[in-house]
Amino acid sequence: MTHPFDGSSLDLEKELTRYMVERRVSRRQLLEAIAKLGPAAALAPVIAACTSGGAGPESQAASAAASAAASAAVPSAEASVGAGSAEPTAVPEPEKELFVYNWTEYIGEDVIPKFQDKYGIKVTYDFFSNTDEAYAKLGKDGGGYDVSFPISVDIPAFKEKGALLKLDKSLLPNIVNLGKEWTNPGYDANNEFSVPYMWWTTGVGYDTKRITDTLTSSKALWDPRWSKHIAMLDDWQEVFGLALIQMGLDANTTDTAEMDRALALLEQQKPLVRVYSTDTTTTMSSGDNWIGQIWGADIYKIQEENKNMVYYIPEEGGVRGSDTMAIFSGAKHPIAAHLFLNYMLDAQISADNTNYIYYMGPNAAAKQYISPDILNDPSVNPDQAIVDKLQELLDLGPAVREEYLKRWQTLRGG
């Protein structure tokens, strides 16, 4: 949570402690590193943090050296190849408990019980219903939780707040299972602070019984024939993104003139829209809405209620998103948290998750265990060619966000 009375003074003791926590280094190991590298090199990142705020090239090099020393001091893990399932060896004794905060039903059915049985760690698993509330609770250090699942676009902001714990890769041997496009994502270079969890696309779903045309364009959401039976997402970035892409523009534009054009387009649509809602399962299966902007993986749940629903990614383009698993800086059980992340990166477990929640994971090794229905379903797992064309919604910063929100408010005004 945001602490309005945050002082901005640092002191060496606090920095040192934070440094050690981030790198999972005990005082003994730090002393060893100092002995090996000399105090200047070992402590350079700490001093850099105290004096500047940014990372100059010298301090970056120094911190690289220090991390190398630190991981040399920590017993390294053997990464066992094959089967996509690796355990870190010589793991420090894990804590007995773990606090996890996630969406409901966003994990395989037996995944948590199996984890508890395997490691004897008791997991308290709480849930939230939207990310914004969750972020308010997670605040600057996790708000009491060890692990949570932020959307990828928000990782830079969390990092900047100092909310995330830097991951100790030696405890995450399963990270090699990630597909190559996920090893160095734009929102978190080299997965230093997070590992990807699931990804999805945003497109259009419609009822083939009510709508007999074969639809391929997002312009279908503006068709007056289905007036008052159209649903859009209650998410300003997704809605503006759709309009911008439809006009051939960048979904992350910072140009206010382009935003105004998108607003005009959306205002034309508004009289036809029945509801703006993220509860797509309900809005699209009740029969009240015949076409809507939905997230790809939701089509499965909608189809359970209405077999006639199909999903397509508009020919103009669509949006791709993903979320992550991260350990928070206030985590009281960091070892257990690492074990949990490693466990979730396991090929079989990742497949269990996908098979249950119908979202595609970033785990290449898991593909062998994923149900073929899902692998072959273009709404959940579209062709690479299509995926390459999709745009990812980015964190645009407060000034630009404010511009969008003003227009969103004008649109939704009532």
Residue 344 near residue 365, CB atoms below 8 Å: no
Cβ distance to another protein smaller for residue 183 or 286: 286
Least spacing, CB of residue 12 vs another protein, in Å? 23
291 contact partners, CB below 8 Å, separation of at least 6: 204, 205, 206, 207, 211, 215, 220, 221, 223, 226, 229, 230, 231
Least spacing, CB of residue 42 vs another protein, in Å? 30
Cβ distance to another protein smaller for residue 103 or 369: 103
Cβ distance to another protein smaller for residue 55 or 61: 55
Residue 368 near residue 347, CB atoms below 8 Å: yes
Give the residue carrying structure tokens 């209405």: 306
User: Please, which contacts does 372-377 make with residues 24 or more away whose CB atoms are closer than 8 Å?
Assistant: 377/300
Closest CA to 287 of 277, 272, 302: 302
Least spacing, CB of residue 200 vs another protein, in Å? 13
Least spacing, CB of residue 285 vs another protein, in Å? 6
Cβ distance to another protein smaller for residue 86 or 331: 331
Least spacing, CB of residue 258 vs another protein, in Å? 19
Least spacing, CB of residue 357 vs another protein, in Å? 8
- b/e per residue, 198-217, with b = 16+ CB within 10 A? bbbbbbbbbbeeebeeebee
Cβ distance to another protein smaller for residue 58 or 279: 279
| Rounded Cα distance, 147 and 334, in Å | 9
Least spacing, CB of residue 237 vs another protein, in Å? 9
Binding site for another protein (CB under 8 A): 1-6, 99, 101, 103-106, 124-130, 132-133, 135-137, 139-140, 143-145, 157-158, 160-161, 228, 236, 270, 273-276, 278-279, 281-282, 285-288, 301, 304-306, 397-398, 401-402, 405-406, 409-410, 412-414
Cβ distance to another protein smaller for residue 219 or 228: 228
Chain centroid offset of residue 334 CA: 19
Cβ distance to another protein smaller for residue 251 or 273: 273
| CA atoms within a 13 Å half-sphere pointing along the CA-CB vector of 175 | 25
Least spacing, CB of residue 92 vs another protein, in Å? 23
Cβ distance to another protein smaller for residue 3 or 180: 3
Cβ distance to another protein smaller for residue 6 or 13: 6
Least spacing, CB of residue 142 vs another protein, in Å? 9
